[in-house]
């Protein structure tokens, strides 16, 4: 009845952009015609093409008494304002204004943030359990009381003997993250990841039904103009539509795949090289910190070395992230994905692989390699026959792992929040300063007000998803070493939702609305992270932490905790003569100095048994939970089947 309201604003924008992408323009030299508004923007004929906002996002009249001026104003008042942080998101309004694709992103982000609440509570309980039982821990008590036990120097030149009780504080801090609740929390988080993904599928099915996306399939996607322009001379019949369309030859696919794989391996090699450089830096400076003039740094030189290494590693991570974006764009110059979803999935997978390896490679090194190949007294292994390999702190390697994760996670979240809001605010202020007039000048048309805003990131939602998926990896993969990770993620995401909302509504030009039925390739990546999390947490508990040695000690009850802990000792009263260092080797006065003792093999067998039992138990629970939770709620499933039945009845009656 009313053609002005038949299509929503978002649908109108999609239709117009579809026409603009496929309208040919002609030049004096190319009479066959070129495609796409994109090429006109690239060659400078136009400066931008974007759908305008519906109006100003602020009003002089209160919304409670005068109502919203437009949907943008309503979104700002009920979603983007900081005072709305505790409110549910208006997903239907977000979908109508920005399209289904952005609506699904905020629905997923809100669901993920809500699911972090129980994970953060349990992680906090595990932390407080360690805090309240720390002073009663027998390992901490014996380490703090070992004033007459001296440890071998941890470096060759400037390090001296140190008392074991000097690491009392570090032992207590380590116990906060390495206690009896660690195994429980690792199992809980593995189950949590499965429940989160399974219930998200149910939530997604409800949204796709409510948003009329059940029958929308990827086959309906149109070809990218760049793909059409490249392969317009090679055609084949589309098996779905039955119409001829441009086709990419198999030889081209193989060539471009080889180029992509080569680029990925090159960038991963660059990351490994950067990690190796940080390792060399730590080896070089640790002796300098050990002889530092400041007494605090001299006493805590291992902590100073680790902290400096973490900060330098973070700077390298952020620099390499910029390099990855450039390299990935260069790789895509030789690729021509068929549809927009293929382009996004390919780009997203490459960026995830690059940044995941970049972000976690140093953490994997500390968790599984630091202090594992140092040798033994009299035969220490050295890098380039010059620098002695770095050892773990006397209280263990877990404190280095906690420091690495905590600092990188905290600094990265601060940096991301600044780049998401602070950078656009500065750019928009500079734009207003240059034109010397307000960004929401009522005398200007809406498109000109929007022109002064920042365009949406060229990657679309890819950067938003990538940030959250990497955070999900931090929250699950090494959660056994850092139980406070879910809490930090929760606090960040509460801010993240409002930052993104404020950015979309006030600081960015209105992005082109797009349809989608799910979060794309990101769901498969999240499932892969969940599987990897089970494996890494099993190895962290078994190898990095002292949980297994404690179990063996409590089981045997035949030697003191010092014997089970296994640290180096060269001096001490006779009561400590059975003391061993962490490698569980024999003492230098034995018949076979520094040979592995029977205790070493007992602990190794216990570690391997724990890894096997832990992985099979957790994977079994995950599979059982995934089986129990259906992807579609039963009432929604019945409703969909009822609608299909009614449609069939109508068709029969029409016939």
List of residues 6+ apart from 254 with CB closer than 8 A: none
Say whether pLDDT at 31 is over 70. Answer: no
274 and 211 both lie in a single domain = no
434 in a domain, yes or no?
no
Say whether pLDDT at 113 is over 90. Answer: yes
448 in a domain, yes or no?
no
33 and 124 both lie in a single domain = no
pLDDT, tens digit, 9 for 90 and up, residues 433-466: 655 544 455 567 888 888 888 888 777 788 889 8
261 and 375 both lie in a single domain = yes
pLDDT at 576: 31
283 and 151 both lie in a single domain = no
* The model's pTM: 0.82
Domain ends where: 414, 442, 462? 414
pLDDT, tens digit, 9 for 90 and up, residues 205-242: 999 988 888 776 654 566 666 676 666 667 777 776 67
pLDDT at 290: 65
pLDDT at 203: 92
Q: How far apart are CA 402 and CA 395, in angstroms?
A: 13
40 and 138 both lie in a single domain = no
Domain ends where: 399, 414, 429? 414
> Which of 401 and 356 is assigned the larger pLDDT?
356
CB 542 within 8 A of CB 363: no
Among 46-50, 134-138, 319-323, 357-361, which is the least confidently predicted range?
134-138
> Which of 12 and 242 is assigned the larger pLDDT?
12
C-alpha closest to that of 454 among 511, 513, 514 = 511
Average of pLDDT values for 176-203?
A: 87
* Burial label, 237 (beta-carbon count in 10 A; 0-12, 13-18, 19+): exposed
Q: How far apart are CA 56 and CA 439, in angstroms?
A: 10
541 and 642 both lie in a single domain = yes
pLDDT at 568: 40
59 in a domain, yes or no?
no
How many helices (H) and strands (E) in the chain?
25, 8
Domain ends where: 381, 414, 447? 414
pLDDT at 10: 81
Q: How far apart are CA 134 and CA 593, in angstroms?
A: 35
pLDDT at 220: 56
Q: What is the DSSP letter of 411?
A: H
Number of domains within the chain: 3
pLDDT at 30: 56
pLDDT, tens digit, 9 for 90 and up, residues 501-535: 988 998 888 998 888 888 888 999 999 999 998 99
Which residue is associated with the tokens 């779905």?
240
Q: According to the per-residue pLDDT averaged within each range, which of 64-73, 138-147, 178-187, 611-620 is highest?
A: 611-620
The domain of 345 spans 255-414
Q: Produce one character per residue of 553-591: b if its CB has 16 or more CB atoms within 10 Å, e if not.
A: beeeeeeebbbbbbbbbeeeeeebeebbbbbbbbeeeee
Question: What is the CA angle 129-543-277, rounded to 5?
Answer: 110
368 in a domain, yes or no?
yes
208 and 273 both lie in a single domain = no
* Burial label, 652 (beta-carbon count in 10 A; 0-12, 13-18, 19+): exposed
pLDDT at 106: 95
Average of pLDDT values for 26-33?
A: 58
pLDDT at 291: 66
486 and 395 both lie in a single domain = no
Q: According to the per-residue pLDDT averaged within each range, which of 6-15, 237-246, 588-597, 620-629 is highest?
A: 620-629
485 and 363 both lie in a single domain = no
Average pLDDT, the chain: 79
Q: Kind and range of the H or E element at 376?
A: strand 375-376
493 and 400 both lie in a single domain = no
List of residues 6+ apart from 315 with CB closer than 8 A: none
Structure tokens at 446: 């809406």
pLDDT at 29: 58
Say whether pLDDT at 376 is over 70. Answer: yes
pLDDT, tens digit, 9 for 90 and up, residues 543-582: 888 778 877 776 765 444 444 444 444 433 333 333 445 6
Average of pLDDT values for 69-98?
A: 89
Q: According to the per-residue pLDDT averaged within each range, which of 71-80, 260-269, 377-386 is highest?
A: 71-80
Q: According to the per-residue pLDDT averaged within each range, which of 92-101, 172-181, 375-384 is highest?
A: 92-101
570 in a domain, yes or no?
yes
330 and 278 both lie in a single domain = yes
Q: How far apart are CA 154 and CA 63, in angstroms?
A: 67
> Which of 161 and 48 is assigned the larger pLDDT?
48
Say whether pLDDT at 399 is over 60. Answer: yes
CA 547 remoteness from chain centre: 27
pLDDT at 232: 65
260 and 201 both lie in a single domain = no
Q: How far apart are CA 216 and CA 223, in angstroms?
A: 16
557 in a domain, yes or no?
yes
Which CB contacts under 8 angstroms, 24+ apart, belong to 629-638? Answer: 629/195, 629/198, 629/199, 629/202, 630/202, 631/198, 631/201, 631/202, 631/205, 632/202, 632/205, 633/202, 633/205, 633/206, 636/205, 636/206, 636/209
| φ, ψ (nearest 5 deg) of residue 393 | -65, 150
399 in a domain, yes or no?
yes
143 in a domain, yes or no?
yes
């Amino acid at each position: 009845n009313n053609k002005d309201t038949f299509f929503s604003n978002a649908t109108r924008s999609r239709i117009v952009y579809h026409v603009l992408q496929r309208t040919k323009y002609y030049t004096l030299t190319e009479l066959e015609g070129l495609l796409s508004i994109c090429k006109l923007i690239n060659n400078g004929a136009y400066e931008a093409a974007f759908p305008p906002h519906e109006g100003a996002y602020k009003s002089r009249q209160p919304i409670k008494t005068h109502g919203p001026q437009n949907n943008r104003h309503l979104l700002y008042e009920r979603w983007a304002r900081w005072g709305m942080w505790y409110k549910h998101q208006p997903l239907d309004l977000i979908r109508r204004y920005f399209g289904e694709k952005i609506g699904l992103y905020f629905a997923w982000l809100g669901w993920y943030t809500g699911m972090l609440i129980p994970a953060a509570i349990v992680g906090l309980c595990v932390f407080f359990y360690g805090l309240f039982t720390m002073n009663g821990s027998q390992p901490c008590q014996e380490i703090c009381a070992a004033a007459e036990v001296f440890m071998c120097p941890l470096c060759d030149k400037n390090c001296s003997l140190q008392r074991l009780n000097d690491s009392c504080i570090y032992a207590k801090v380590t116990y906060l993250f390495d206690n009896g609740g660690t195994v429980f929390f690792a199992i809980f988080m593995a189950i949590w990841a499965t429940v989160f993904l399974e219930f998200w599928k149910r939530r997604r099915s409800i949204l796709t039904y409510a948003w009329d996306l059940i029958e929308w399939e990827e086959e309906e996607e149109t070809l990218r103009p760049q793909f059409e322009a490249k392969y317009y001379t090679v055609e084949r019949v589309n098996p779905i539509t039955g119409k001829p369309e441009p086709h990419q030859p198999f030889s081209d696919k193989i060539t471009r795949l080889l180029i992509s794989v080569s680029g990925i391996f090159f960038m991963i090699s660059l990351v490994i090289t950067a990690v190796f450089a940080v390792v060399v830096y730590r080896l070089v400076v640790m002796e300098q910190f050990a002889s530092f003039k400041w007494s605090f740094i001299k006493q805590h030189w291992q902590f100073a070395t680790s902290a400096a290494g973490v900060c330098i590693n973070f700077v390298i991570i952020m620099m390499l992230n910029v390099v990855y974006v450039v390299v990935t764009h260069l790789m895509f110059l030789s690729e021509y994905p068929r549809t927009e979803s293929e382009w996004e999935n390919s780009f997203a997978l490459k960026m995830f692989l690059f940044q995941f390896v970049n972000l976690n490679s140093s953490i994997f090194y500390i968790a599984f390699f630091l202090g594992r190949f140092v040798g033994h007294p009299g035969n220490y292994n050295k890098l380039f026959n010059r620098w002695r390999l770095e050892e773990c702190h006397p209280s263990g390697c877990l404190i280095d792992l906690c420091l690495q994760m905590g600092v990188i996670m905290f600094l990265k979240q601060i940096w991301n929040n600044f780049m998401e809001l602070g950078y656009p605010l500065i750019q928009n202020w500079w734009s207003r300063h240059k034109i010397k007039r307000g960004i929401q000048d009522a005398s200007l048309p809406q498109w000109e007000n929007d022109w002064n805003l920042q365009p949406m990131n060229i990657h679309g939602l890819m950067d938003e998803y990538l940030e959250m998926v990497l955070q999900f990896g931090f929250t699950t993969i090494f959660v056994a070493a850092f139980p406070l990770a879910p809490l930090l993620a929760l606090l960040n995401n509460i801010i993240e939702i409002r930052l993104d909302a404020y950015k979309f509504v006030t600081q960015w030009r209105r992005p082109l609305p797009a349809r989608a039925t799910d979060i794309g390739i990101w769901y498969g990546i999240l499932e892969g992270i969940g599987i990897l999390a089970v494996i890494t947490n099993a190895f962290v508990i078994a190898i990095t932490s002292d949980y297994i040695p404690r179990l063996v000690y409590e089981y045997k009850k035949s030697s003191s905790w010092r014997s089970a802990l296994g640290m180096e000792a060269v001096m001490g009263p006779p009561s400590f003569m059975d003391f061993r260092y962490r490698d569980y080797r024999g003492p230098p006065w034995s018949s076979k100095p520094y040979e592995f003792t029977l205790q070493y093999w007992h602990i190794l067998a216990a570690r391997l048994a724990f890894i096997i039992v832990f992985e099979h138990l957790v994977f079994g629970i995950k599979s059982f939970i995934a089986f129990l939770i259906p992807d579609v709620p039963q009432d929604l499933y019945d409703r969909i089947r009822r609608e299909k039945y009614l449609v069939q009845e109508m068709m029969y009656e029409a016939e």
